[in-house]
Amino acid sequence: MGYRLSKIYTKTGDKGETGLADGRRVSKDHPRIEAMGELDNLNSQIGLLLAELAEKQVTCPGLGEIIEVLSPCQHRLFDLGGELAMPEYQALQEDEVARLEVAIDQWNEEVGPLTNFILPGGSRLIAQAHVCRGLARSAERRCQHLNAVEPLRPVGMAYVNRLSDLLFVAARLIARRQGIAEVLWTSAEKP
């Protein structure tokens, strides 16, 4: 991937189309562009989560492990976006899915089983992890939509799915390591 941007604006997208790395022009609302955009949104929000984790790590050193696991995810999401921009490009590997599964299993063992639905909240960090989880699910839906039109490699689909699971468990782990009770859902009163 030697392509680098030398000029930020090109004016070639002013009429609602954008270029893919293979030279094709597609509408800016094409399922491929939608999927790439959702991955970018997710990546940006994970960046925010990582920045906030780094700030809180000073007072809560247990957050460092979460940073170590999540930091590579930004790079892998960028890889996946590259695969969407250049369908012949294949960067994401199965071992990345396995890496997420190992972390999910380890963290889930620490937080224990769910006994109730939980809501985003309790701390800014917990809520931000849930924002990322929601965006991962949205990115997964966009990728599934694209996959129905133009088949994608299964590893990318699996990665985004596992990442949303990882972010859910990360939110629970952040709560535990910060010593903050999870916000439990309560049903509406029945009349």
* pLDDT in the model for residue 191: 81
Mean pLDDT for the stretch of residues 70-77: 98
Give the tens place of pLDDT for each residue, 75-90. 999 999 999 998 888 9
* pLDDT in the model for residue 15: 64
Domain 27-180 has CATH 1.20.1200.10: yes
* pLDDT in the model for residue 107: 98
Mean pLDDT for the stretch of residues 96-109: 98
Q: Which of residues 38 and 8 earns the better pLDDT score? A: 38
- Band (pLDDT 50/70/90 cuts) for residue 5 is low
Averaged pLDDT score across all residues of the chain = 90
DSSP the chain: -----S-S--STTTTSEEE-TTS-EEETTSHHHHHHHHHHHHHHHHHHHHHHHHHHTTT-GGGHHHHHHHHHHHHHHHHHHHHHHSTT-----HHHHHHHHHHHHHHHHHH---SS-EES-SSHHHHHHHHHHHHHHHHHHHHHHHHHHS---HHHHHHHHHHHHHHHHHHHHHHHHHT---EE--PPPP-
* pLDDT in the model for residue 3: 55
Q: pTM (2 decimals)?
A: 0.89
